[in-house]
Structure 1
């Protein structure tokens, strides 16, 4: 049986889980909830890049991204940031759903699954 590695764990969750060459990131939010959707999206993507690098992966190894958005009225603005960011990379499978967030100020959250670098 292969080992499961959990990184930056708390009593509630782990920020990174690695198993069988696959990396799972917990949901990433901007951290500064006063920002508008575009800036929150940029910060989520920056955090994804940092965590993937720490886990031994990269943006071009993403397999799947689930995006939770507080209000679909922000879908176009979020996508404008996403489209620019992902333009130079292979495209992962992606889902985007409207969701109630833990706090109303959180406008976007992203959960990522990626392959480890061989």
Structure 2
């Protein structure tokens, strides 16, 4: 089985595709101190990588959202609800976590299927 790495570096790859499944972790590029905007930014990055990998948000299978502050749950959900493909939502869980970059309020890990 072939493993395709998108933008590999020494420490990590932007995304990995194996067996027609995409693995990707998104962080916001907009680091304003607002969980709603950071979630929107991270979701936009997901859209970009899925397009590069011949997929889209309707093909996301599993999502884990990492939030620094539990108080940001409603703001994150607002951005998520505006973005998610209605009727095609993936399995999802949200975890409170201390993220490695102090500016990050949210990080999103996805697993998605490649279009056939």
Question: Structure 1-normalised TM-score?
Answer: 0.93
RMSD after superposition = 1.1
Give SS of 1:94's match.
Answer: strand
Aligned 8 A contact 1:65 1:111 in 2: yes
More displaced 10-residue stretch of structure 1: 87-96 or 10-19: 87-96
Segments of 5+ residues of structure 2 without an aligned counterpart are none
1:87 shift after superposition: 4.8
CA distance in 1, matches of 2:19, 2:75: 36
Give SS of 1:30's match.
Answer: coil
Segments of 5+ residues of structure 1 without an aligned counterpart are none
Aligned 8 A contact 1:59 1:89 in 2: no
1:33 shift after superposition: 2.0
Question: Structure 2-normalised TM-score?
Answer: 0.94
CA distance in 2, matches of 1:28, 1:89: 23
Aligned 8 A contact 2:58 2:85 in 1: no
Q: Does 1:23 align with 2:22?
A: yes
Aligned length: 116
1:79 shift after superposition: 0.3
More displaced 10-residue stretch of structure 1: 31-40 or 100-109: 31-40
* Alignment correspondent of 2:9: 10
Aligned 8 A contact 1:67 1:109 in 2: yes
